[in-house]
């Protein structure tokens, strides 16, 4: 019976390590909406190319990054909602936007965490947490744990991956697909 005990302890420790590896590097923000419908948007690469600018395609479909301080929303101050440039779903609100000094639009939380998916990113010799649109898989940017209160998070988002809808504009349904 005694030889089995060390084996069980080793297996328990390995299971604990695996559980730690499965956790995202940055914990998601609390829910701001109770219900979300993802209704996946799936298109061919040709369809995506047809509806997007060259930069939008590069960023959202090829996981590119626009240069810092060059995107149209890095210093944007308007009140409203930032939507996915690929599928139109609401992602962030201006009240969660802050100036992080990084040169990209920064938010301390998404409008709805179910609409922003997180993935481990080990590209470029770094370990980061990539964020994508949960509805169409568009690359948005990355999330870091150096943001302000109340979440301590900084969603660093490419301007090419979002569009802005002013607060006084008619609201779109979160499940409404952007037409090409």
Residue-by-residue pLDDT tens, the chain, 180 positions: 455 544 444 444 444 433 344 334 343 333 333 334 558 999 999 999 999 999 999 999 999 999 999 999 999 999 999 999 999 999 999 999 999 999 999 999 999 999 999 999 999 899 999 999 999 999 999 999 999 999 999 999 999 999 999 988 755 543 333 443
Question: Quick check: is 67 in a domain?
Answer: yes
Polymer length of the chain: 180
Question: Quick check: is 41 in a domain?
Answer: yes
Mark residue 115 as left, alpha or beta (left: phi above 0; alpha: psi -120 to 50; beta: remaining).
alpha
Residues 6+ apart with CB under 8 A from 61: 45, 48, 52, 86, 138, 139
Number of domains observed in the structure of the chain: 1
In angstroms, rounded to a whole number, what is the distance separating the alpha carbons of residues 147 and 133? 20
Question: Is 133 assigned a catalytic role?
Answer: no
In angstroms, rounded to a whole number, what is the distance separating the alpha carbons of residues 16 and 10? 10
Counting Cα atoms < 13 Å in the Cβ hemisphere of 175 gives 5
Q: What is the reported pTM? A: 0.74
Question: Quick check: is 3 in a domain?
Answer: no
Structure tokens at 125: 């010799």
Question: Quick check: is 140 in a domain?
Answer: yes
Show the domain range for 153: 27-166
Cis upstream peptide for 36 (omega within 30°): no
Question: Quick check: is 80 in a domain?
Answer: yes
């Amino acid at each position: 019976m005694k030889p089995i005990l060390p084996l069980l302890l080793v297996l328990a420790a390995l299971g604990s390590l695996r559980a730690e590896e499965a956790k995202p590097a940055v914990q998601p923000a609390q829910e701001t909406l109770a219900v979300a419908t993802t209704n996946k948007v799936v298109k061919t690469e040709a369809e995506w190319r047809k509806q997007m600018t060259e930069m939008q395609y590069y960023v959202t479909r090829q996981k590119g990054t626009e240069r810092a301080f060059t995107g149209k929303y890095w210093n944007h101050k308007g009140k409203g909602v930032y939507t996915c440039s690929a599928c139109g779903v609401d992602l962030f609100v201006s009240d969660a936007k802050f100036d992080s000094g990084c040169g990209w639009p920064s938010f301390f939380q998404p409008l709805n965490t179910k609409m922003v998916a997180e993935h481990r990113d080990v590209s470029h010799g770094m370990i980061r947490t990539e964020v994508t649109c949960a509805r169409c898989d568009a690359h948005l940017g990355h999330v870091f744990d150096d943001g302000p209160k109340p979440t301590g998070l900084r969603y660093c988002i490419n301007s090419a991956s979002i569009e802005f809808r002013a607060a006084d504009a008619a609201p779109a349904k979160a499940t409404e697909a952007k037409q090409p």
